[in-house]
Structure 1
Amino acid sequence: RDVGYELPLSFLEAALGCKKQIKISRLETCAEFSGKGTAKGTNPETCPDCGGSGQVRTQRRTPFGVIQSMGACSKCGGKGKIIRDPCKKCKGLGRVRVSKTLEVSVPAGIDNGQTFILRGQGDHGVNGGPAGDVNVTVSVRPDPTFERDGFDVWCDIPLTFAQATLGDEITVPTIDGKAKYSVPEGTQNGTVFRLRGKGIPYLNGRDKGDQYVRVQIEVPRNLSGKQKEALKNFDATMNEKNYEKRKSFFDRFKDMAGK
C-alpha cells in the first residue's frame, strides 16, 4: 500500500525546488527465507480446505433455490498456504516494518498542500507483489517578505518621502536574488510595479510568473526642530499643481456643498 508523508518547506525551497532527506516507516519483505514467513528449514503448506486457491465455494438455500458463491477461505485467510512454524522475525507475515531514509527532489514551483509521488517507494507487496508509492504532501511556511498568488510573487517595499517624490533606483528582493528598479518621480503610496519573469517557475515547465512590488511610503517620525522647520518651509512652496488628487477631492467637495 501507499505511504503518506508531510514535508515542511520554506517559501524559497518550494519556489525554487530543493533536495531533502525524509525518513519513512514502511513494510519490507522479510530478509529471512525470501519473505515466505516460515521458520528456517520449513515451507508453507497447501491449505487443505481450499487446495491452495485461497477461495472456497459456499452454498446457501433460499426460497428461490440453492445459491452458490465463492469467498475467501477462512482457514488460510485467502492465502492458499498455511504456516505451521512461523518466522520469529516477521511472525509469519512475510514482511517487517523498517525505518527508511530517502533522498527526494522537490520540484520547483510546488505549492502548499500539493503532493508529489515517489513511485515504488512505499510498502513492499505481499508475496512478491508490486510495491506501493510514497505520497509526499508539502507544507510551506509563510515568508516574512514574499506572498504567493498562483505563480506570481508579491512583496511590499518601503520608500522614503524623498525617494517617492524625486524618484530613485532601488534594490528589490526577488526569489532569485536582488534586482534593480528605477522608481519614477512622483510615485504614490500603494503603487504596484511588475518585474516580468521574476515569479515562481511553472511546474514541469519553462515559464515563470511575475513579481509584483507594492510601494509603501514611510512617513518620517521623531523629527528634530530643524527638520520640522525645513519641512514647513518646503510645504509653503507647494501649490495645487503639486497635489492633483487633493485638488480634485476638494473641488468635488465644493460642488457637493454648493448643491
Structure 2
Amino acid sequence: MPRDYYEILEVSRSAGPDEIKKAFKKAAKKSHPDLNKDDPDAERKFKEVTEAYDVLSDADKRRIYDQYGHDGLKSRGMGPDFQYSNVQDIFEQLFGGGFGDLFGGGGRSRGPRRGADLEYPLRLTFMEAAHGCTKTISVPRRVDCETCEGRGLKEGANASKCGTCNGAGQVISAQGFLRIRTTCPSCRGAGTIVRPEDRCSDCSGAGKVRETGEMEIKIPAGSYTGLQIRHTGAGEAGDPGGEAGDLYVTIDVSPHEVFKRDGADVFVTVPVPYEVMCLGGQISVPTVHGEETVDVKRGTPSGHVIVLRGRGLEMLRARGQRGDQQTRLVVEVPTSLSEEQEGLLRQLAELRGQGVHNKGFWQNLFDKFTG
C-alpha cells in the first residue's frame, strides 16, 4: 500500500507551499542514492520523496489527493510518472540547477525562470462561505514593463554578455565533493548585463514594474478556513521570459454567533418554551438556508438533538451534496412571570404534589429535562 505523502515529507496536512518545499529539500538530500551508497533502499526512498513533492506542490493534484487519496489521482490520470527529466526539473527549480550538479554530476542551463507565486488572505463571513460569492480583490505584483516589454532596455539598445558567468546565467561553486550550481549574482540568471546608459527609464532596467490590479475571485459554496483557491498565471511575471507564477487565495471564515460547523455539518442550539417540550408542538428553527418548521414530540428532554438531513453546507468533495444540521433543543426558562402565570404554575406544582418551597418546582422541572 502506498505511503501517505505527508508522512513521507514529515509535514502536516495544513502545510503551506513554502513548508512543503523546505521539507522536500531536506528529505531529498537525506535520501539521494549518491549520498547513501550503503543504503540499498535509497533509490526507493528518493523516488517516494520526489513523488510526494510532485503531488503536494501542485495545487490541483494535492486537492484531489486530499479528497480521494492515491486512487483518486490514478483514476484521473494524474499518477506519478517519474522520468529523469521530471525529477531534474524539480531539482532545478529548487536548488538552482539539476540534481546532477547538486551532487557532483553534469547539468544543463537554467532557461527562463518562472515568476514567484503569491498568496492573498481573504476574510469571509460565515454566510459568504456557506453560500459562495464573488469577491473583488486588489493584488500588488511584479509585471513586465510595457515600455520595454520586459527587456529592461531603452529602444534601440542591446544587452551585453555577463562577464561573471560568461552568459550562462549560472555559476558553479565547489563544497567538498559537491558542485552546486547557483544563479549568477551579477546578471540574476539572465546571462546578460544592461549598461546604465541603456536602461529603460520607466523600470530602471529591471524589466519589471510593480502594479496593483483588481481581480474577481469566485468563492465556492461550502468554503472553509484554510481553503486555497489557485489562479494560474496571476502571480508575478517570470524573469527573463519565463511564465508567470500563480496566485493562491487563502480563505479565512469568521465565526457566526448562531451557527457552528464541523466540515459540512452545521450545529445550532435552539431554546424551546418548556410547555412545548412538555406538551409537544411545532417550532421554527434557523438554518443556513432559511427557517424550517420542526415538530417537537411530547415530553422531549432538554438537550435532545434533531437532525435535519441535507440542511448543512455544500460538500466541496462531492458537488451537489450537503451535510446535515444538528439542532439541539434546550428548555427556555422565563426570567420573569406575570401574576397570572405565576399563579398557574403554583397550581400546577400543587397538583403534582410539589410545593414550591420543598425541593422546588423549578428544580424538579430542571431535573426532569436535564436528566
Are 1:126 and 2:126 matched, yes or no? Answer: no
Letter in 1 for 2:323: G
Q: CA, structure 1 residues 223+136, in 2 after alignment: closer, same or farther (shift >3 Å)? A: same
Q: Corresponding residue for 1:39? A: 154
Residue of structure 2 aligned with 1:199, choices 287, 312, 325: 312
**Shift of the alpha carbon at 1:223?**
1.4
Deviations 1:193-239 (A, max 9, x none): 10001111111422211001111211122212322111111222237
CA distance in 1, matches of 2:143, 2:174: 39
Residue of structure 2 aligned with 1:157, choices 270, 274, 293: 270
Letter in 1 for 2:256: D
Give 3-state SS (helix, strand or coil) of 1:201's partner: coil
**Structure with the higher helix share, 1 or 2:** 2
Are 1:223 and 2:341 matched, yes or no? Answer: no
Q: Corresponding residue for 2:350? A: 236
**Structure with the higher strand share, 1 or 2:** 1
Deviations 1:124-144 (A, max 9, x none): 111221111111111111111
Letter in 2 for 1:102: M
Q: Corresponding residue for 1:90? A: 203
Does the 8 Å CA contact 2:190/2:240 hold for their aligned counterparts?
no
**Shift of the alpha carbon at 1:75?**
4.2
The count of residues paired between Structure 1 and Structure 2 equals 241
Q: TM-score, with normalisation over the residues of structure 2?
A: 0.59
Structure 2 alignment gaps of length 5 or more? 1-115, 355-363
Q: Corresponding residue for 2:327? A: 213
Letter in 2 for 1:227: Q
Q: Corresponding residue for 1:14? A: 129
Q: TM-score, with normalisation over the residues of structure 1?
A: 0.83
Q: CA, structure 1 residues 93+213, in 2 after alignment: closer, same or farther (shift >3 Å)? A: same
Structure (1 or 2) with the larger CA radius of gyration: 1
Give 3-state SS (helix, strand or coil) of 1:32's partner: coil
Q: CA, structure 1 residues 49+212, in 2 after alignment: closer, same or farther (shift >3 Å)? A: closer
Q: Corresponding residue for 2:254? A: 141
Counterparts of residues 39-188 of structure 1 (less than 5 Å): 39-48=154-163, 50-55=165-170, 72-84=183-195, 85-188=198-301
Identical amino acids, percent of aligned pairs: 38
Of structures 1 and 2, the one with the larger relative CO (CA 8 A, separation 6+) is 1
CA distance in 1, matches of 2:167, 2:246: 29
Q: CA, structure 1 residues 20+68, in 2 after alignment: closer, same or farther (shift >3 Å)? A: closer
